[in-house]
Amino acid sequence: MPGTRSRPPRHLADLDPAARRAAAAELGGEPFRGDQLARHYFARLTDDPGEMTDLPAATRAGLASALLPRLLTAEREQSCDQGMTHKTLWRAFDGAYVESVLMRYPARVTICVSSQAGCGMACPFCATGQAGLTRNLSAAEIVAQVVAGARALARGEVAGGPGRVSNVVFMGMGEPLANYAQVMIALRRLTDPVPSGLGISQRSVTVSTVGLVPAIRRLSAEGLSVTLAVSLHAPDDELRDELVPVNKRWKVAEVLGAAWDHAGATGRRVSIEYALIRDVNDQRWRAGALAGLLSGKLAHVNLIPLNPTPGSRWTASTPGATREFVAALEARQIPVTVRDTRGRQIDGACGQLAASARPSEGPRVLPLMPPVPSAE
């Protein structure tokens, strides 16, 4: 298995401002060179030393290659929805594959990032879960997915003209709270003000989890107002034990208890993710049971029509069952939306990311973004 033990190269985005300055000094530059590099990377979205004319020519290439190594190489690009949805397959230094998906909407641009190569949570309906975990991504590998999207948008390479990334969702490959330390560093870099970070609003970042209760509680204590999404998928432990195997360890009541405490600590409404699976979890009584759990809580239900994965015995609920499920929640005043199926044609919708298993498959290969400039 590639990269089970080796670590990705150190990158500026792994480091806080003080550590960047120390690293620049160690490399023989003045400490403020660390700040200059951060400005290039986070504000100008470049890691090309040729563009860093404020750095002395003699040390520029050395600093850039030591602190801005290229971590991810775009191996394949796919687009759909008239270019408004764009999936990138990335190859890491060790050959591990991850994917990110950029989705442009009228009033926002959301990037869905991976936090691990593969995933160890083994949810049976999720394509990523089938392949198992390859390794954790480093903070900089997570941030690099957002920087690449931000760069493509800033340069007008995404349909709809120049723009910026407004939202980040940790709903790509991996369980973010199982890679806690690196995800926390990445959250800081994404939300630190420009030019120390990307300046994305904390409230516009969503961390989605299967429900690792101790990690949810740690997150709530970080003082970050990020939005929490809980992948519930069933209101009862019996079914959830099957759909989200980690439920055998932390039950529905404990997971929701931690979620409500997060809402209390941050003031952020918790997003309850529920993939509607035909005749499995879409019964009226389950909608009623779900409403009972959420009634009066700071929560919003996101129903996701199941994206069937290859070889799966499950399929999406019928439109009629979906409407009834929505109606049952609305009748109890539970806010609910049905998620759009952005990216479905390019296997870029929820739960379809399985790059490591299928790196070379896929129709409609549209090279839209240029390769990330090399640091050399």
Tell me if 183 contacts ligand SAH by CB under 6 A: no
Residue among 117, 205, 306, 372 that touches ligand SAH (CB under 6 A): 306
Catalytic hit among 80, 112, 126, 350: 350
Tell me if 125 contacts ligand SAH by CB under 6 A: yes
Which secondary structure element, helix H or strand E, spans residue 29, and what is its range? none
Tell me if 191 contacts ligand SAH by CB under 6 A: no
| Closest distance to ligand SAH from the beta carbon of 350 (Å) | 4
For residue 83, CA distances in Å to 144, 170, 238, 306 come to 21, 22, 41, 23
Residue among 74, 89, 171, 256 that touches ligand SAH (CB under 6 A): 171
- The residue number whose beta carbon is nearest to ligand SAH equals 351
Query: Near ligand SAH by CB under 6 A, which window of 49-57, 71-79, 122-130, 356-364?
Result: 122-130
Tell me if 103 contacts ligand SAH by CB under 6 A: no
Q: What does R_g of the chain's alpha carbons equal in angstroms?
A: 21
- Is 99 tagged catalytic? yes
Residue among 206, 231, 247, 317 that touches ligand SAH (CB under 6 A): 231
| Closest distance to ligand SAH from the beta carbon of 289 (Å) | 18
Amino acid found at 130: Q
Tell me if 325 contacts ligand SAH by CB under 6 A: no
Give me the residue label for tokens 């997570």. Answer: 142
**What does DSSP say about strands 227-231 and 205-209: parallel, antiparallel, or unpaired?**
parallel
Looking at the DSSP bridge assignments, the partners of residue 273 are 231, 302
* Pairwise CA distance, residues 71 & 145, whole Å: 10
What is the rounded (10 degree) CA torsion for 265, 351, 336, 211?
-30
| Closest distance to ligand SAH from the beta carbon of 331 (Å) | 24
Tell me if 209 contacts ligand SAH by CB under 6 A: yes
Distance of CA 344 to the CA centre of its chain: 17
| Closest distance to ligand SAH from the beta carbon of 325 (Å) | 14
Amino acid found at 119: C
Give me the residue label for tokens 């999936």. Answer: 87
| Closest distance to ligand SAH from the beta carbon of 342 (Å) | 12
* Pairwise CA distance, residues 239 & 53, whole Å: 59
For 137, which DSSP code? P
Residues involved in catalysis: 99, 350
Residues in the site for ligand SAH, rule: CB under 6 A?
121, 123, 125-126, 171, 175, 208-210, 231, 273, 275, 304, 306-307, 309, 350-351
